[in-house]
Amino acid sequence: MSQQSVAVDIDKVEKVYGAGTAAYRALHPITLQIKENEFFTLLGPSGCGKTTLLRMIAGFEAPSAGTIRLRGQNIQDTPAHKRRVNTVFQSYALFPHLTLAQNVAFGLENLKVERSKVKARVAEMLKMVHMDSFADRKPDQLSGGQRQRVALARALAPEPNVLLLDEPLSALDLKLRQAMRDELRTLQRQTGLTFIFVTHDQEEALDMSDRICVLGKGEVQQVGTPREIYENPSNRFVADFIGDTNFIEVQVNQVNGDQATVTTPWGITLNAKHNGAEAGKTATLSLRPEKIDLAEQATGIVSEGKVLSRNYLGGFTHYAVQCGPVQLRVSARNRQANSRLYEENQPIKIGFQESSAWVLGV
């Protein structure tokens, strides 16, 4: 990756709070390169270090070690207000006594931008987030989604090199979160800015990101496209955190390149792609519930099972199916209004393609 294409270069950055026996390592040494014009997501559970890393990019926290570069320039000693980086917070952080137009103008005025240009830029930004007709209102006259749009307009107005978004949708209800995801992605494409988005919501990350960095226990677990992360997780942590999956302990019979021949606990042998499997040892097979077919749809690797329970959720029906000594979760899409529902204790066939199985050696 050429230096010109890198927006943020994080080189062996770590963060330790306290000292001696009271020291707490929030981030182990992390190295990442975030490209220009990409929607990059830091994803992980609470306490994994994602917000700490975002705050160090913003300049609100100082790294204990390592270097952060913005477009090739070391910004280690650059104070937060002088970095070409803006942050959108979960709490919106709008000034309640100012109108929306005044809120959006605030950062521009601090940068001593000419008044005529400020007015034009404010109008442009409010129009971009569909809030131009609300310019004279105060924040307390808006809904949560509207306030979030204004917070975005204010952050975008000074034309930062990078926009940081710290769980900006978590305070919104489900329908509004889904709508705002579309709006955020559209805004990122319109502006061509680099967005660095922090979330613990896997669906948000998969829906919006060009690339995702999964963080766990203060370490980078995997970096890749949403499809790479979901279909080919690097380890059990990633497979478990991203979506839902069945973990099945299997015996590895043979390894040939990126293929492993394994035997399941119910006696089926199959060939699957793997990550670090070793012949003669046990490994963990990851199989997503939606990759398993039931009854007449069952093809590929077919086995006998029995329905233990059923949960109807509208678009999908989730089943627990006993297969030999293993209980599997199966997610069946209800494609038609009269899609067949299987009953508890009903014998049933399950099937999946070998290409849907992924063997984790670690």
pLDDT at 36 over 60: yes
Give me the pLDDT at residue 362, please: 60
Mean pLDDT within 207-215? 96
Give me the pLDDT at residue 252, please: 96
pLDDT band at residue 303, thresholds of 50, 70 and 90? very high
**pTM score, two decimals?**
0.90
Question: Which of 352, 243, 40 is closest to 233 using CA atoms?
Answer: 243
Cβ-based burial of 132 (10 A; exposed 0-12, middle 13-18, buried ≥19): middle
Distance of CA 221 to the CA centre of its chain: 13
Q: What is the pLDDT of residues 137-196, one digit of tens each?
A: 999 898 888 888 888 888 888 889 999 999 888 877 888 788 888 888 988 998 899 999
Looking at the chain, the whole-number percentage of residues with pLDDT higher than 70 is: 99
pLDDT at 2 over 60: no
Mean pLDDT within 59-86? 93
- Contact status, residue 33 vs residue 72, Cβ threshold 8 Å: no
Give me the pLDDT at residue 224, please: 97
The whole-angstrom separation of Cα 42 and Cα 78 is 23
Residue 360 belongs to what H/E stretch?
A: strand 358-360
Angle at 303 between CA 301 and CA 307, to 5 degrees: 130
The amino acid sitting at 38 is E
Q: Which of 33-42, 43-52, 166-175, 291-300 has the lowest mean pLDDT?
A: 166-175
pLDDT at 4 over 60: no
* Per-residue tokens: 236: 């059990």
Q: What is the pLDDT of residues 304-341, one digit of tens each?
A: 999 999 999 999 999 999 999 999 999 999 888 777 89
Mean pLDDT within 102-113? 88
**Mean pLDDT of all residues belonging to the chain:** 91
Q: Which of 29-38, 168-177, 258-267, 286-295 has the lowest mean pLDDT?
A: 168-177
Chain position carrying tokens 């006594």: 97
User: Residue 304, Cβ neighbours under 10 Å: how many?
Assistant: 13
- CA torsion angle 139 143 145 146 (round to 10): -50
Q: Going by C-beta distance under 8 Å and a sequence separation of 6 or more, which residues neighbour residue 347?
A: 304, 305, 306
pLDDT at 90 over 80: no
Question: Which of 245, 174, 165 is closest to 199 using CA atoms?
Answer: 165
Give me the pLDDT at residue 169, please: 83
The whole-angstrom separation of Cα 212 and Cα 243 is 14
Residues in the chain, overall count: 362
- Contact status, residue 160 vs residue 7, Cβ threshold 8 Å: no
Give me the pLDDT at residue 75, please: 94
Mean pLDDT within 4-22? 91
The whole-angstrom separation of Cα 136 and Cα 139 is 10
Residue 89 belongs to what H/E stretch?
A: strand 85-89
Angstrom CA distances, 349 to 236, 250, 302, stand at 27, 20, 7
The whole-angstrom separation of Cα 97 and Cα 94 is 9
Give me the pLDDT at residue 206, please: 95
Mean pLDDT within 206-213? 96
pLDDT at 42 over 80: yes
Mean pLDDT within 269-282? 93
User: Residue 47, Cβ neighbours under 10 Å: how many?
Assistant: 14
The whole-angstrom separation of Cα 111 and Cα 52 is 27
Q: Going by C-beta distance under 8 Å and a sequence separation of 6 or more, which residues neighbour residue 19?
A: none
Mean pLDDT within 281-288? 96
